Amino acid sequence: MTDPGMKPEMKITDTGTRPFETAERENMNIWIYIAVMAIVTYLIRMLPMTILRKEIKNKTLRSFLAYVPYVTLTVMTFPAILDATRSIYSALAGFATALIMSYFKKSMILVALVSCAVVFITELILIH
């Protein structure tokens, strides 16, 4: 069953719609997904500000909330450290260097530069 105005290679699918109509429907679904994600993101950020207007007096909860930014940064950064190099060994060498230098309170720029150098040298050694 073909439409006279259609090219021979374009046939009506089993559902009775043409291919471009399916694409339009999928495109509409993408916008619905984006809108739902935007609403959820907005609610997650807005609700705590509107519901929790009083100061939090519970010491345990305040202590827990104080560590949230550090934990979030660590959770996002650590996997990236391990995946950023060709070898897990060079990544671990750079990470260990950064940990040791940070423990001895070296400046952040020095830690970053020396860690990058250690990764570079380790990868050169591993390649040859």
Residues sharing a CB contact under 8 Å with residue 83, sequence separation 6 or more, in sequence order = 91
Same domain (yes/no): 116, 72: yes
**In terms of residue numbers, what domain contains 65?**
56-128
Strands in the chain per DSSP E: none
In the numeric block, the tokens 């860690």 are attached to 115
Q: Give yes or no: residues 65 and 124 share one domain.
A: yes
25 and 34 in contact (C-beta within 8 Å)?
no
Same domain, yes or no, for 90 and 128?
Answer: yes
- Domain match, 4 and 24 both: yes
Q: What is the pLDDT of residues 75-120, one digit of tens each?
A: 999 999 999 999 999 999 999 999 999 999 999 999 999 999 999 9
| pLDDT tens track for 40-53 | 999 998 888 888 77
User: Looking at the predicted structure, is the pLDDT value of residue 9 above 70?
Assistant: no
- Same-domain status, 1 and 47: yes
Rounded to two decimals, what is the model's pTM?
Answer: 0.54
Same domain, 95 and 67: yes
pLDDT band for position 34 (50/70/90)? Answer: very high
The structural domain count of the chain equals: 2
If you write DSSP's letter for every residue of 28-46 in order, what string do you get? HHHHHHHHHHHHHHHHHHH
Based on the domain organization, do 39 and 91 belong to the same domain?
no
Minimal CA–CA distance to 87: which of 55, 111, 121? 121
Do 111 and 70 lie in one domain? The reply is yes
């984006």: which residue's tokens? 34
Identify whether residues 109 and 60 lie together within a single domain: yes
